[in-house]
Structures are given as structure tokens and as C-alpha cells.
Structure 1
């Protein structure tokens, strides 16, 4: 085996450019396998962590009756939900109808950008588990003076990427100072697309009637299904069928499933790239056999058997695949670490992915080297020695 490896390495070293190109093809394919698997594992780790944080979050919203008529949440809904024993924290928001949000009066009133105005309570951030990205959230000042906090999508649509005393938006024909911008929420897109004002200001200036349109609550994690089952009857005993209860963590579960589906597709593409790399190795080895017939004939004349010749060329193919696999694993791990860190995710590189990628590259090299090795072993010494240089 030591002689076979030495002879194989010598054959590859004599044709460095050709060997380097073959190694590059395998390395790219292996790097793709490692990178796709690593990025998927990193993203899934972040989603699972968030799923654990959001697993006990529930939302209650008004739905429709059996006749299709829109319903409203009772004004006492938040108080009744708070009375459920396993419920830990509750907050509510109410949509302010007929009010638009624009950057200035120069923007037509019809161009709302899908931004709604919500009357929100100070406990919203605590219940939602989010934070201000810029500035601050609604505080005691916002309960007395008109201030607005924008969701991440709303701020982006309005072109607001920084907060200073001159940052204002036009709400209902009046300029409102922007106190802050919230970080993006993966479980409450309605908050991302909203402009939030305090309930007292919404009632005093915007004519808000105080009726909630959505209630957010966190319950004891062990009692979430039970709480979800009694919420419709608690909120609306007369029409429980008109109350929608949702668990936002279902969105995260769906995202994990979607990511896994895309991972399968990308792994298939990486497998095709590995197949192309294997074909490249097979082609290089066949050309090598043709070019080195004199060498093969000389070794046979000196006593080497067919299995020795086959072992030499098969070893060369395995060395190419091993070098490409190692280089690709290192490249894929580095790319995974760089991209995952750039997205603020924990870097996760599954050991199984590294081992599987290396094993796949070696298997590809072995398969690619079988035919050239057999072809080289079947050359007769006399025929090989007569081959022109």
C-alpha cells in the first residue's frame, strides 16, 4: 500500500495542473454539500431556539360568524383573558380605522403602503418578546403627547432608517414625532406593518373607540393547548365560533419545513456537481492511462502484475478525491461560518455533514477510478512498450 500511494502521488505530482483542476471540481462540490448542510443547520438552530421562546405565545382575533358577517372582540375581552389561571401576561392592540400614515403631505393619501395605525399598550414588547431597533417604545410621554413607534416594515416603506428630533410622519393630517422603530417580528407581521400609538392618544386625537382587534398572551407552556381550547368561549361566550385563536409558533414550524425542502433541492444540485467532478476524475485517469502506456509496459516487464497497475491508478483517483474532499470540507466550513455569522446565527456545522461529504468524495473517486484502473491492468507488456511516446 505504501508503494502504491508513493507511485500514485508521483503520477499526480508529474501532472500538477491537470491534478489541480480535478481536485478543484471535487472541492467545489464538497464545499457546496458542507455549506448547504451547515447553513441549514445554523438557520434551523436559530428557528428552533425562537420556537422555544414563542411556543407559549397565543393570539386572539375577531373572525366571522357562520353567516360570513365580521365580528368584533368585546371590550372586556382582555380582562376576561387575563382571568384565565394559566395565562401569564396579556396585551391588546386596536386598529384605528380610516387613518393613513404618510411621510409627508406630498404623498397622495391613497398611497398608504399597507401601513395601519394600531393603538397599543405599554406591555406589548414584554408579551411579544421584541425590542426597539431604534429609539424607544411608547412610554409615559407617549401617553400624554402624540408620538408614534413604527414597525420594521412600516419604517422601511416610509424610508426611515434613523431617528432624530426632526423625524416625523403624517398621521391624519398631523405631523407626529417618531419615537422609535421596532425590530422585525417573525410571528406578528401585523406589528411590522403598523404605526403604533398609545391608547390614550388614539382615543383623544384619532377617535379610537377602545375596542381591541387582537389580543396577545403568554400562558404556562404546559397549559398552552388547554388555554387555546377555552379562549373562544372566554372571549365570546355567545359566539365562540367567531373567535380565531392562533399559535404564532406554527409559522416557525412551517418555515423549518420549508427550509428542509429547499435543503433537499440544494443537496441534489450539490450531488450533481459531485457527479460532474467524478466524471472529470475518470476522464483525467483515462487520458493518463493512454499517455503512460510506456510506463505501464516497463513496470509489467519488470514484474509488476495487473493488480499492481490497477492499484496504482485507483490510488491516484482516490488521492485526487481525498484532496478535493479535504479542501472542499475546509472551504465549506469557512463559508458556513462566514455566512451564518453575517446573518447573526449560531454557527452549526454538523460532523455528519463533514464525514458524509468526505465519504461521498472518496466513493466518487473510487467509482471514477475503477474503469481506468481495469483498463491499465489489462495492457500487455509488449503492446504497452511498443506504444509511441
Structure 2
């Protein structure tokens, strides 16, 4: 008997009893759909949570040179960018200039505010947007232009760009006001000028005081270990590096928790589906004794009977697996969209659901098929 003949014979029971086949497949479909849903929904929820935790700077480090210590070299940013796991690096530097609303304002009006020389890619590295106006450009970075942090703008009474404020002893034009910067609150209390403008108008020496570094999360501890020697090879002890965000530990713990949850729920769903298939096949054997006896009397061997019912169990599981996977994907995607989460369909879990359905069907069909094969023609026909 060829494989095609065996498949046709295995599908015979499904074609002749379509209502029972549908109801039986529905049982495993619900099990597989449950498995897909309980992996899709937590995966989407986890992705939303991971996105929120990543916004807290889980892959961010800051390197600083304390005041009075040896300054960081001017080329420190370029050296940090050569570290393989580093994604981006930028820097600011305290110019020690004073900022105030106008030349007639008291010099104490700018107390608590700092004037920072900034690289042009600081907003990208810190993931901060511009609330009003625009950030510095290659053109404006060399001119007396300034961008204010949110707190600095409020303190100076600046509500819109295109006004002038005093930075040091010179008027600077405000080109923009930043959004709040949760990853670096110091930026909120700063007036940021271009690196060339700071050199030209504020007597800046070009040495960074704070480096912002983004790296791959998996290698963040390794990057932190080599950062001081990379930033300042001559005096690595004078470089202080922040430890990774506590959110990183929370993120990793959450990922591990979700991984364990996926495995547990998937296993339960598959077991439930397998029990349903086994029960259906046992009932099918009991009801089809006459068919089994007739086929045995016509020359079918025990292996033919065993293969027939085993194929039928696998086909039944495959039907339920495909339907359940489709239903689970749709339900999981709908739930994620309703809650505003990213839609995440774990492909390994989906493939595992289909493969698991076939495996469970095969295991569930072992006993019923063996039981059917043990029936003798006389016994089967007598009990039909």
C-alpha cells in the first residue's frame, strides 16, 4: 500500500463522518488556538513593556570627567565609537559660561543653569525631540545660536524661538526648545550651543565633560568595563561611568518570566488537545468494528489497520492544528491592536503549534490504532 493510498484510506473516516471530524478537530483547534493566543498576547504585551523599558535607557551609559580631574581628550568620542558593541556616542561639555535673559538681567537669574557645548547628534543619542523651533545644524552650530532645555526655557521666560538671550557676554539667538529629557535631566537645565560656536565665542577648550554612549544591551557590561581606558587611556581612573540602568535588570527578568510562561501554557494546551484526539479515536475504533472486521476478512493485515487509524489521527490533528493556528493568530493580533500593543506573532511558537499538533495526533493515535489492529476478523464482525 503506497503512501497516497494510505492517506486516502486515513481520510476516509473523516469524509464519511464530517460532523464528527469537525467536532473532533474543533477540540484540538481550540487547544492549538489557545497555545497560539497565550504566546501571541504575552509576546505582544512583552514587546510593549520592552519598548517602555528601553525608553528608560537600558542600553545607555554616561562617562564623566569630574571637575578638577584630568579632562577627557578631544577625540574621546571617536575612540568610543570604535568599540564594536557601541551603537552611537555623543558628548557635551560645560563651558562655565553664564546664561541670563538679557544684559539687564541680574547675573543670578541663571543660577542652576549651565551652558553646554554639544555635538550635533546629541538629540539622536539621547532620544529627545525638539518641542518648538529646531535643533542646531552644521550651519547654525558655528554661529551664536542656542537651544534651551525645557527647564532652562521656563526659568528664562522663553516660550518661543527667534528671541535673543545673553550667553556669557554675547547675545545668542534661540533656535529651539527641547522636550523633557528623562535620560539626562541635566540637559533640561542647560543652554546648548554648537561646538564651533563655543570655541569661537565662549573660549571653550574642546574637551568633553560628559559622554553619552549607546551599546547593544547584551554587551552593556562589557562596554562599561572598557570605557574608562578607551575614553582616557592616560588617566582611566579619572573617568566615572554610570552603571547600567536598573530597568535593564527588570527587562531581562521580564523576558525570562515570559519565556517560562510560554513554555508552560503551550505544554498544557497541547496535552489537552492530545487527550481530545485520543478520546475521539478510541470511540471511532469502537464504532467501526464492523469495518475493521470486513477489511481483515478481505485480507488487510494488522499493520494496514494500524496505519489506517494512525493516519486518521494525524490527519485529524493536522486539520485542527491548521484551523487552531489561524484562529489563534487572528485572536492574538486583534487583542494586541485593541490594546495598542505591537502585533507580535512568534513564528517558532506557531510552527511548534503545527508540529506539536501532528506529534500529539501521532501519539494519541498509537493506542487506538493498536487496539484496532488487535481485533480478529471474527471478533470484530461479531461485535459489529
For the aligned pair, the TM-score class normalised by the smaller chain equals: 0.5 to 0.7
After superposition, give the CA deviation of every residue in 1:111-146 in whole Å (9 maximum; x if it has no partner): xxxxxx986845583462414285557779xx9999
Whether contact under 8 Å (1:18, 1:284) holds in the other structure is: no
| Distance in 1 separating the partners of 2:357 and 2:130 | 45
Which of 46, 63, 67 lines up with 1:74 in the alignment? 67
Q: TM-score, normalised by structure 1?
A: 0.56
Displacement of 1:364 in angstroms is 1.2
Computed over aligned residues only, the root mean square deviation of the Cα atoms, in angstroms, reads 5.4
Alignment match, 2:219: none
| Higher deviation after alignment, 373-382 or 362-371 | 373-382
Structure having the higher Rg: 2
Alignment match, 1:158: none
Q: TM-score, normalised by structure 2?
A: 0.57
Q: Which runs of 5+ in 2 are unaligned?
A: 82-89, 95-111, 161-176, 193-208, 217-221
Whether contact under 8 Å (1:127, 1:218) holds in the other structure is: no
Q: 1:195 to 1:127 in 2, by over 3 A?
A: closer
Q: 1:44 to 1:144 in 2, by over 3 A?
A: closer
Structure 1 position 60 matched with structure 2 position 47: no
Displacement of 1:262 in angstroms is 2.2
| Distance in 1 separating the partners of 2:341 and 2:38 | 20
Which of 275, 278, 281 lines up with 1:282 in the alignment? 278
Alignment match, 1:196: 188
Whether contact under 8 Å (2:148, 2:178) holds in the other structure is: no
Alignment match, 2:203: none
Alignment match, 1:91: 92
Match of 2:67, SS?
Answer: coil
Q: 1:12 to 1:245 in 2, by over 3 A?
A: same
Structure 1 position 311 matched with structure 2 position 307: yes
Alignment match, 2:127: 130
Displacement of 1:361 in angstroms is 2.2
| Matching of residues 1-389 of structure 1 within 5 Å | 1-13=3-15, 14=17, 15-28=20-33, 31-32=36-37, 35=40, 58-60=61-63, 73-74=66-67, 80=72, 82=74, 84=76, 86=79, 89-91=90-92, 121=116, 123=119, 125-126=122-123, 128-132=125-129, 135=132, 149=150, 177=159, 181=179, 190-191=183-184, 196-199=188-191, 215-218=210-213, 226-229=226-229, 244-246=240-242, 248=244, 255=251, 258-330=254-326, 343=341, 355-387=351-383
Match of 1:375, SS?
Answer: helix
After superposition, give the CA deviation of every residue in 1:283-319 in whole Å (9 maximum; x if it has no partner): 1111222222232233333333322222121111100
